[in-house]
Amino acid sequence: MRVSNERAEIHNANVVTDVAEAGGCGLSNLQNGATCGLPAHHDGPCDFVAPHDVFDALAERDVRP
């Protein structure tokens, strides 16, 4: 039983913390730096975008923390 509302995966090295804290998946492709721009806990595969585009992708999907 987890008492905290904090997402445990934020502490994973391949999750971009500021993206995850903004409500996004934040999973990062360590080979090319692309970051998933979908909401946290999304269904299906990640949608990787360039790091400089990830917050735009979240905003387009109306993702909020």
Name the region of 34 (left: φ>0; alpha: ψ -120 to 50; beta: rest): beta
Q: Is residue 64 included in any domain, yes or no? A: no
Q: Is residue 65 included in any domain, yes or no? A: no
Q: Is residue 53 included in any domain, yes or no? A: no
pLDDT digits (tens, 9 = 90+) for 16-64: 999 999 999 999 999 999 999 999 999 999 999 999 999 999 999 999 8
Cβ atoms within 10 Å, residue 63: 19
Q: Is residue 59 included in any domain, yes or no? A: no
* Averaged pLDDT, 5-21: 79
Q: Where are the alpha helices (DSSP H) in 1-65?
A: 17-21, 54-60
Give the DSSP letter of residue 57. Answer: H
Give yes or no for residue 3 having a pLDDT over 60: no
The confidence band for 13, taking pLDDT boundaries of 50, 70 and 90, is confident
Domain count, the chain: 1
Range of the domain at 15: 1-40
Q: Cα–Cα distance between 65 and 56 in angstroms, integer?
A: 15
Q: What is the pTM of this model?
A: 0.81
Q: Is residue 35 included in any domain, yes or no? A: yes
Q: Is residue 4 included in any domain, yes or no? A: yes
